[in-house]
Amino acid sequence: MHAATLAAHRFGYAETSLRALQADPKAWVLAQFPATGPAANVFDAQGLADSSAAVRITREVLRAALRPQDGDDKARREARQALRQINQQGLQRRWQHIISTEAPVAERWLQFWANHFCVAATKGSVLGLVWPHENEAIRPHAQGRFVDLLKASTLHPAMLLYLDNAQSIGPDSRAGQRRQKGLNENLARELLELHTLGVNGGYTQADVTETARLLTGWTVRYAADGKAGFQAPLHQPGPKTILSKRYAEGPQALDELLIDLSRHPATAQHIVTKLARHFVTDDPPAALVDAVAARFRASDGDLRATAHALFEHPLAWSPAHAAKFKRPEELLLSTHRMLKLPFGEAQLQTGAQAVQAMGQSLGRAPSPQGWPDRSEDWLSPDALFKRVQWAERFAASHADKADARLLAQLAMGEDLSESTQQQIERAESGAQALALWLVSPEFQRR
């Protein structure tokens, strides 16, 4: 790929035309990570859901949906509808922002972090909190310091509920002695394995257990405002030793631990490898990873500095790298962005159904690892067949939105292959031409 195509399609979410960035693609990318001032990808105030309200609504509607009511189904139906509405509104704001933002690379950067710090609506307590977690914990910090992003995600109600820390109680705490309940190690394990050090980061099971002890007390205050907070009666008393360092009892220990984890060399290597895999290629060159990891460490986890190190490096722009295969959601969003097709209610419903049919259930990643990021994970024969079906249906409904013959040339420039161009030009109709463009190797990959 040429530099402009890489910038628009691999680093971003596709552009209708490459003309605006062809003069200096690298400058176009780096401008989305300004050295000072606000990030280029923030929502407006309307797009920021209120976390405490979402927790309360989730709690109330679940309570109405689950308790016996002597045959009264109305409350249960209203509860389910309220949950659906919360999620649909959050998804619509999110999708519309992605397809209309003038900073698509910065937005893809943010979505990388939302997937890295994954929460999923796979349990009742998190059903209304996936998008608030992205908007409140991830979006404000994705271009700040990694440690601040790490803390915001770890202590968001969605994460505390998703990984069960809200129910974790120190066995020797006042509450633990009274309730005879104990530790839950889920958040501690994922904090070390997924969010910071990585699976080969040098920690032990003893470190996981001690981290779980340190995390006790951090819970969601259902009876108050629905926000996260520290409850001393739940906290395991005494010091904890993690990675050979001693942390004193109390809430301040979490800040100390997160700072130490963010500065650990294994964290830089783990984080940057994932970044390079997402933005460059499935198996990124070691020289690229090492250079960006060095900048991550030298800048004390400054994520804008890390982004500049990644996107300034010549290896990130090498045309020799194998292309990435788009996830289903990326495929849909890049299509809407390229066609400048907004998400109304009808488009939202059909789009969500299509993404799920292609193998990605929105807001419901299969595990705390988030959605897989290697092309091979999305390349099964059945998945490819469903993409063809989606392209045919989409093209039949939107053939009048663009001339696919011209659009393909504008969107891909010199990287449009002769084979794809010929197939589109020989199409019997506008709908067939658009379908052929959407299933082409150039558009299915990035």
Task: State the DSSP string of 335-398.
Answer: HHHHHT----HHHHHHHHHHHHHTT--TT--SSTT-S--SGGGG--HHHHHHHHHHHHHHHHHH
d(Cα 367, Cα 427) in Å, to the nearest integer?
Answer: 42
Alpha-carbon torsion (412, 279, 122, 344), positive or negative: negative
Mean pLDDT by 10 residues, the chain (446 residues): 96 96 97 82 51 62 55 70 82 94 97 98 87 92 98 96 95 89 94 97 98 97 76 97 98 98 98 98 98 98 98 97 96 97 94 96 96 94 95 95 94 96 96 97 96
| Structure token pair of residue 20 | 């605006």
d(Cα 369, Cα 119) in Å, to the nearest integer?
Answer: 9
| Structure token pair of residue 445 | 């990959």
How many helical (H) and strand (E) elements, i.e. helices and strands, does the chain have? 22, 4
d(Cα 399, Cα 392) in Å, to the nearest integer?
Answer: 10
**Coil, strand or helix at 325:** strand
The backbone torsions φ and ψ at residue 379, rounded to the nearest 5 degrees and listed phi first, read: -115, 25
> Nearest 5°: CA angle at 41, between 194 and 95?
80
- The pLDDT of residue 64 is 55
- The pLDDT of residue 62 is 56
Strand partners, 107: none
Instruction: Specify the pTM.
Output: 0.93
Would you give the end-to-end CA distance of the chain in angstroms? Answer: 9
